[in-house]
A and B are shown apart, each in its own frame.
Chain A
């Protein structure tokens, strides 16, 4: 009998190698939280997502690091970390997507959630569920968080280009992003971590829900930055050679 039980348990352990992961950065009280975000909602659905269980998961995991532009944290951002996507309905119509991520801050963990438009992927609202930071109060201010309303992942990728090539461009939705009022030096690392959290959140949402529709913007931004830098380098080189030729002509 015991052998049978042992076999059953180890059989399940083997099965586990092929199973689908689940509970990630979840809302602490989904029904209440989602109702607060979408007062008109009638139901919601939870979906578990994990790199290990999606097609080309390893590639996407590496891409996450590249698109974030920073190393992934070994505690909060592992390959096995599960995520939960909440799809919010009014009747049979999707009215919102909500997703959260954990990022490491200086004071501890920061849980950044966004509710997004199900069609465009634009942020409808960004909020912190948990923020262990000396600057928590400032970062949670409505004025600061409201700056992300309407922002898409494509906007973040475009910002990468504009801040290098044309920092004053009116097309840069994030060009005028301001840190929270009264943010002191101690709070700056957590401000940066919060921005990183929002970016990471949108990158994952793009992958899990929006079929990577922002990916062309990432590619274009990188190509354009490279081209801009190359041209700038050429310009510098030409500027350096010009005085010499002038001297020769003299």
Chain B
């Protein structure tokens, strides 16, 4: 009796199975009675893991070579020509052509990224140099010149060895930077002006936008970031010529304000001595007070603010930098205001910038015959308009390709002469 029952049961099972198979294309798989075509694949769940599915945390760390592991090299081509209203002949245009590279390398242990290195270099060819905001360092570099821009190391979470169990509470708080990078003043630390024609204030304010320095940076708390450095005050050359250097610090809004509200802002302070022929050239009183060397007593307090707002066709960016302070005994007040628009397609944009640098030379400057300089001779100011056509304009600046047309019109100049107008056309590619 048992045998017929067993056969009947088997027959029923086969029949049910056949029915199930008719409805379920996955009946041949691990769970034949299921109508779920993925049933046999669910073994990937932790409880039913296949032998070859090792959790990531237990996998051996891949061994990669130096150039395969977080190593980036970028190439750059930069060509610009500038025509000036002051040129004797129309053919006397300033030509600045270069090829360059940038290397970024990150170093990691098994469980942490501990350091990174960045270097930018360019071989530049300059002919008929003209003073322009985008090439403040080029004056004495006619012909071929190989120049470096960024050249620095970042070491992350450097206090971990002494923080012990508390290191988890201070991730991102104590990072150490060593080398040449943007001054911790104004928006430059968070703005890449490496390839752009429009620059921020620091070049004109200090005579250089980058300096050699060492110090700490990171997050103070959820709302604020900080930068605190000793700077050499030398600008381009890594040199001591008797200057004491500068102490620079900036406190800025945490990046979440930029992401969530489009707002970036900072308050910066810079104090000490710097080398600057540029400051001497712009002020006879600074030249006198610096006593024959190029060392300039420097004090600056700066406020910066940038607001990015999405509009129906793209985005608008309002940029502002203000600084107040002294070069030797001269009072210095600088301002920069910029409005930019980038189309939603990221294929074109335009900017308008107004920059003004005021310097109040003290009474009795010998070269001025002991009199106050007239107001017009103490100020440099200009309005710059720029249109950009982008062929590539990646969000993270990883791939850039554009043509820019830039017109600068001086509105004030620190010496008496006819105000100039300059037209610049730039081709730039970074990839």
Binding site for B on A (CB under 8 A): 2, 5-6, 9-10, 12-13, 15-16, 18-26, 28-32, 34-35, 40-48, 53, 75-76, 78, 80-82, 87, 89-94, 97, 102, 107-109, 111, 118-120, 129-130, 132, 154, 158, 161, 171, 209-210, 213, 216-217, 220-221, 223-224, 227-228
Contact = CB atoms under 8 A, between A and B. Distances in A.
A31 B156 CA distance: 10
A112 to B, nearest CB: 13
Nearest first, the 9 A-B pairs at minimum CB distance are: A31-B172, A22-B72, A43-B112, A94-B57, A28-B255, A29-B255, A119-B55, A42-B168, A19-B73
Contacts of B100: 9
B56 A94 contact: yes
A217 B394 contact: no
B375 to A, nearest CB: 43
Contacts of A91: 111
Contacts of A217: 38, 41
B238 interface: no
Contacts of B70: 20, 22, 46-48
B43 to A, nearest CB: 10
Contacts of B110: 92
Contacts of B38: 154, 158, 161, 171, 217, 220-221
Residue from B36, B70, B146, B160 whose CB has the most chain A CB atoms within 10 Å: B70
Contacts of B394: 75, 81
Given A32-B254, A108-B344, A119 B168 contact: no
17 contacts: A9-B100, A15-B73, A22-B398, A26-B396, A29-B219, A29-B256, A32-B256, A35-B171, A43-B160, A44-B171, A45-B108, A48-B72, A75-B346, A75-B393, A81-B398, A132-B310, A161-B38
Interface in B340-399: 344-346, 393-396, 398-399
Nearest to A13: B75
Given A29-B255, A31-B172, A107 B344 contact: yes
B278 interface: no
B254 to A, nearest CB: 6
A81 B68 CA distance: 17
B242 interface: no
A15 B102 CA distance: 12
Nearest to B431: A80
Give the bracket for the number of chain B residues in contact with chain A: 35 or more
B60 to A, nearest CB: 13
Given A16-B101, A20-B69, A48-B70, A28 B123 contact: no
Nearest to B172: A31
B277 interface: no
B325 interface: no
Contacts of A81: 394, 398
Given A9-B123, A107-B310, A154-B44, A20 B113 contact: no
B41 A9 contact: no
Contact of B219 (A26, A32, A42, A53): A32
A227 B28 CA distance: 15
Contact of A28 (B37, B68, B171, B258): B258
A46 B116 CA distance: 11
Contacts of A221: 37-38
Contacts of A6: 123
Contacts of B171: 31, 34-35, 41-44
B315 A80 contact: no
A71 B25 CA distance: 30
Nearest to A32: B219
Given A25-B395, A28-B258, A92 B310 contact: no
B74 A89 contact: no
Given A20-B70, A32-B219, A43-B171, A224 B37 contact: yes
Contacts of A20: 67-72
A171 to B, nearest CB: 6
Interface in B125-167: 144, 146, 157, 160, 167
Contacts of B225: 29
Given A34-B171, A119-B55, A92 B218 contact: no
Interface in B58-98: 67-75
Nearest to B24: A224
B121 A9 contact: yes
A19 B71 contact: yes
Nearest to B72: A22
B99 interface: yes
